[in-house]
Amino acid sequence: MRPIIWRVVGAMELNKLEQDLKRDLQGVASDLKWSAVELMRIAERLSQAGNEADAQAVLRMCAVFHADEDRLTAYADEVKTGRIVRDKSEME
């Protein structure tokens, strides 16, 4: 199986593969958001327990997750507007 290559093109209707890609990107972005929220709760408990160094390390992880979430959401938006397309020939 060849790697999937994204092409940048003009706006057009989404095909099934593009819809799946958009949904997958949004799903992973949502998972990152949920994970960051949970990690923030852990960081708060660490801080309250006096473990500020670990709390700060967890908060840095949250910042990375938020940035990755934003990037994946932007990719999903590019799929939606047709700037990134995925077609069957790329799946072979």
- 31-58 pLDDT, tens digit per residue, is 999 999 999 999 999 999 999 999 999 9
The mean pLDDT of 9-26, rounded to a whole number, is 81
> pTM for the full model?
0.75
Q: What pLDDT sits at residue 61?
A: 97
Structure tokens at 77: 């938006």
Given pLDDT bands bounded at 50, 70 and 90, which one contains residue 4?
low
**Please, which pLDDT band fits residue 15 given cuts at 50, 70 and 90?**
confident
Residues in the chain, overall count: 92
Asked if 77 and 26 count as a contact pair (C-beta separation under 8 A), the reply is no
What percentage of the chain exceeds 90 in pLDDT? 71
- Asked whether the beta carbons of 15 and 87 are under 8 A apart, the reply is yes
* Residue 59 pLDDT exceeds 60: yes
- Which residue matches tokens 């994970």? 35
